[in-house]
Amino acid sequence: MLTKEGTSAKIALAMEETYRPLADRMRPQSLKEFVGQTNLVGRSKIISILLKKDQVPSLIFWGPPGSGKTTLAKIIANETKSVFAFYSAVEVGVNEIKKVVKEATERLKNGQKTILCIDEIHRWNKAQQAILLPSVEDGTIILIGCTTENPSFEVIGPLLSRCKVLILDRLNEADIKKIIGSALKDKEKGLGKYNVQLAERVSDTLQEASNGDARVVLNALEIATNLTRTKNGKRLVTAEKIAQALQSKRLLYDKSGEEHYNTISAFIKSMRGSDPDAAVYWLARMLEAGEDPEFIARRMIILASEDIGNADPKALRIAVAATQALQFVGLPEAALNLAQAATYLASAPKSNASYMALKRAREDVKRTLNEPVPLHLRNPVTPLMGKVGYGRGYKYAHDFPGGYTKQQFLPDKLKGRKYYQPKEVGYEAYIKKHLEKLQGK
């Protein structure tokens, strides 16, 4: 029989569960409940092995939002019977960390480990991260840093070298649907007591909107359930209610982070690879995410010379024109100009001959340094220069048939070097034939 105090505690616990968000209530408590990341938590995988041996080192979990980084950290703490200290990098300061380390030192004397989980560790500056080094080094604490950003850029080298980086993948369609099913069935922590049913394709809509983020799905599902009235003992959640709950889908993008570099790389490589469909898709992704359109335009100007060059000389003009149009018109209308340029560049014949010519010439410049300009190419701007031979023997091209005659233009040590090697593509094929004709080949 429950005492009065016991009854009150049970009621308080039930109320606490009611007010906790569904995503938090449904958080897995063990590896058996954990969904996704089978490359890490599956049978005979690294997390399972480390837990079985009770030899968990300091870790960095790197993965997209909602992929289970914090949940996995808490499970590791539970499985190893360690004291779990969780902090968000944006909220915790040096003093709190020093206190955790001091307490961890005392616990370790009694054989108990401490796991310190720092969420969004990439938001800590170098000095803050450096404070952890001694206690991670000597094993006073087991650090689990969670980050959505590439740790190679965001975590200081000394700390990174003391941790093992584990990469979490975006949850796939099967993972998301399994999470939805669990939330609908669970009568204690989930929505089972409401007898929630999903209308046709609602599950697919949630999965598509999730971007692999379990929190997005569970939050939207909970809100949509609250917006739906009970009828005939059940709540039928429709696509309309889900749309209201989702409001707008958020693209995973950080203009100063890895996703920025990943996306612009995909955009450039799509144009270089002559795929206009992929090019305009990545362009749309960047524009929707709020990328600086001038940055996109500058990259197209570079590509026009680096990857197309004289195979289609109009490419550079079109890229520059799109940039000017952007400055004149501005977004959103200038997105059309950028799309026109991107699809043109992707469809144009490709040649990197100009880029390679510059690369070869630079190598010779660095190797030979200050080779003297041949005397016949120097301009005799003073009488003395004329007397010592400046300009002597120079052949003015327009005095010869076809505006061409053979003469040496490179320094003596580089005579005969070929930097520009046109390809048999587009307009550059004509250039190649023209140069071969001039050179008597």
Total domains present in the chain: 4
108 in any annotated domain = yes
**In terms of domains, do 189 and 235 share one?**
yes
**In terms of domains, do 238 and 285 share one?**
no
Q: What is the pLDDT of residue 306?
A: 94
15 in any annotated domain = no
Token pair for 231? 């009828």
Q: Are strands 142-147 and 164-167 parallel, antiparallel or unpaired?
A: unpaired
Please tell me the distance from the alpha carbon of residue 318 to that of residue 334, in angstroms, as a whole number: 14
- Considering 197, 213, 246, which residue would you say is the last residue of a domain? 246
Which CATH number goes with the domain that contains 427? 1.10.3710.10
Q: What is the pLDDT of residue 254?
A: 56
Which CATH number goes with the domain that contains 290? 1.20.272.10
Helix runs in 69-201, H state only:
69-79, 94-109, 126-130, 133-137, 151-154, 157-160, 173-185
Please tell me the distance from the alpha carbon of residue 309 to that of residue 304, in angstroms, as a whole number: 6
Which CATH number goes with the domain that contains 73? 3.40.50.300
**In terms of domains, do 382 and 275 share one?**
no
Q: What is the pLDDT of residue 60?
A: 92
201 in any annotated domain = yes
Helix runs in 211-352, H state only:
214-227, 239-246, 258-272, 276-289, 293-303, 314-329, 335-347
**In terms of domains, do 297 and 192 share one?**
no
- Considering 316, 347, 378, which residue would you say is the last residue of a domain? 347
As to burial, measured by CB atoms within 10 angstroms (0-12 exposed, 13-18 middle, 19+ buried), residue 138 is exposed
**In terms of domains, do 283 and 214 share one?**
no
**In terms of domains, do 140 and 198 share one?**
no
238 in any annotated domain = yes
Q: Which residue has the tokens 């007010």?
A: 19
Question: What 3-state DSSP class applies to 236?
Answer: strand
**In terms of domains, do 111 and 47 share one?**
yes
Q: Which residue has the tokens 């060059």?
A: 309
10 in any annotated domain = no
Domain that holds residue 203: 173-246
Q: What is the pLDDT of residue 9?
A: 46
- Considering 136, 167, 198, which residue would you say is the last residue of a domain? 167
253 in any annotated domain = no
Please tell me the distance from the alpha carbon of residue 20 to that of residue 26, in angstroms, as a whole number: 10
307 in any annotated domain = yes
Which CATH number goes with the domain that contains 222? 1.10.8.60
Closest to 139 measured CA to CA, from 155, 165, 121, 116:
116
Answer yes or no: are the C-beta atoms of 310 and 427 closer than 8 Å.
yes
Question: What 3-state DSSP class applies to 357?
Answer: helix
Phi, psi of 436 (to 5 degrees): -65, -35
pLDDT tens string for the chain (441 positions)? 444 445 444 444 444 455 688 888 888 888 888 888 888 887 888 988 888 888 888 999 998 888 889 899 888 888 887 888 888 888 887 888 888 888 889 888 888 888 888 888 888 888 888 888 988 888 888 999 998 888 888 888 899 889 999 999 888 888 888 999 898 898 888 888 888 888 888 888 888 777 788 888 888 888 888 888 888 888 888 888 888 888 755 555 555 556 777 888 999 999 999 999 999 999 998 898 888 899 999 999 999 999 999 999 999 999 999 999 999 988 889 999 999 999 999 999 999 999 999 999 998 888 887 788 888 888 888 888 888 888 888 888 888 888 888 888 888 888 888 888 888 999 988 888 888 888 874
**In terms of domains, do 221 and 297 share one?**
no
**In terms of domains, do 417 and 337 share one?**
no
**In terms of domains, do 163 and 182 share one?**
no
Instruction: Give the global pTM.
Output: 0.60
Token pair for 344? 């043109």
Structural Rg of the chain based on CA atoms = 32
Please tell me the distance from the alpha carbon of residue 256 to that of residue 65, in angstroms, as a whole number: 17
342 in any annotated domain = yes
Answer yes or no: are the C-beta atoms of 352 and 293 closer than 8 Å.
no
**In terms of domains, do 163 and 216 share one?**
no
**In terms of domains, do 57 and 148 share one?**
yes
Please tell me the distance from the alpha carbon of residue 116 to that of residue 127, in angstroms, as a whole number: 18
